Amino acid sequence: MRNSFLIAKRELGSFFSSAIFYVITVVFLLLYSFIYFQILNFFSFQSLQAAQVRGMDLGLNLNDMVIQPAFHNMAVILLLMIPIVTMRSFAEEKKGKTFTLLLSSPIHLKEIVFGKFLACWGVLTVMILLSSYSIAFLFMIGRPEIGPALTGYLGILLMSGCFVAVGILASSLTDNQIVAAALSFGFMLFMWVVGWGAQAAGPNIGPILEYLSLIDHLERFLKGIVDSSDVFYYLSFMFFALFLTHRVLDSNRWR
């Protein structure tokens, strides 16, 4: 564990001392904020309309109409941004030949993989939590429920953990960062939409595809439900991707 933290610490240092972290964070926050304020604007427009139609309960509420769609959009932006965060993790080490330092050190491969994962996930957690200003703002102007907002963040963090694990797996497959980014983006998007195949796949395979889809598990978190099966899905997804990363790196030595 100490070694994983060492790797993570170095990785974080390199994130924060280079432009990558700042550029990605600023782009993420700008995109998110723009979309967020469009959602908020739409909500206030609808509220105005509702106020004119007396006696009609349109079921307007901040949780359903602002926080939930905001999280959905955040997930899409993350889908686009995470490959950029993770693509360097192993590809750069291999290209820059610095991987030999780690491989010839008394550290286990799994500690290296876990350290890389921690660093990328840590960076994303910082990035994602910075967006919480928007939710805090809602508490100043209205009375949304805090529960679904918190579980929403939990869901988003777990989902981005899966993205990170996939990104690191892709990065371990190649020494080219662009290839790593393309692979991880492709795979993430596939895991996102795989549930759409459920109908065509029929009653046997359909539910499996639905279960596999990354985004379906997010839905319940956004509604404020923490279902242990969803948490288990995300954790096992991460574990499996990191396990594959370990296998890939280990098999590289044998070839």
Partner 1 sequence: MIEVENLSKFYGPRLAVNNLNFTVSQGEVVGFLGPNGAGKTTTMNILCCILPASRGTARICGFDIFEQSMEIRKTIGYLPENPPVYLDMTVDDYLQFAAAVRGVAGKKIAAAADRALEKCGLKDVRRRLIGKLSKGYQQRVGLAQALIHDPKILILDEPTTGLDPLQIMEIRKLIQDLASSHTIILSSHILPEVSQICQRVVIINEGEIAAIDSLEGLTASLRKTERLRLRVRSANDDVLQSLKALEGTLSVQQEDDSAFIVESPLGSPFQDKVARLALDREWGIVELSSASMTLEDIFLKLTTEEKELAE
CB 254, min distance to partner 1, A: 6
- Helix, strand or coil, per DSSP, at residue 125: helix
Q: Find the binder of partner 1 among 17, 204, 228, 229 (CB under 8 A).
A: 17
* Rounded Cα distance, 131 and 249, in Å: 35
Q: Are 171 and 86 in contact (CB under 8 A)?
A: yes
Residue (7 or 35) nearer to partner 1, CB: 7
The Cβ of residue 56 has, within 10 Å, a number of other Cβ atoms equal to 9
Stretch that binds partner 1, among 12-20, 63-71, 142-150, 168-176 (CB under 8 A): 12-20
Residue (111 or 230) nearer to partner 1, CB: 111
Stretch that binds partner 1, among 14-22, 77-85, 165-173, 204-212 (CB under 8 A): 14-22
Interaction of residue 21 with partner 1, rule CB under 8 A: no
Q: Which residue carries 């796949």 as its tokens?
A: 201
Interaction of residue 142 with partner 1, rule CB under 8 A: no
Residue (109 or 179) nearer to partner 1, CB: 109
Give the max Cα distance, the chain: 74
Segment 90 to 109, residues that bind partner 1, using CB under 8 A: 96-107
- CA-CA distances (angstroms) from residue 244 to 49, 166, 203, 208, 240? 53, 9, 30, 21, 6
CB 103, min distance to partner 1, A: 5
* Rounded Cα distance, 78 and 194, in Å: 18
Q: Mind spelling out the 3-state secondary structure of 28-85?
A: HHHHHHHHHHHHHHHHHHHHHHHHHCCCCCCCCCHHHHHHHHHHHHHHHHHHHHHHHH
CB 112, min distance to partner 1, A: 9
Q: Are 129 and 29 in contact (CB under 8 A)?
A: no
The footprint of partner 1 on this chain (CB under 8 A) covers a number of residues equal to: 23
Stretch that binds partner 1, among 7-15, 50-58, 172-180, 194-202 (CB under 8 A): 7-15
Q: Find the binder of partner 1 among 200, 202, 229, 253 (CB under 8 A).
A: 253
Residue (49 or 98) nearer to partner 1, CB: 98
Instruction: Point out which residues bind partner 1 (CB under 8 A).
Output: 3, 6-7, 10, 13-14, 17-18, 96-107, 253-255
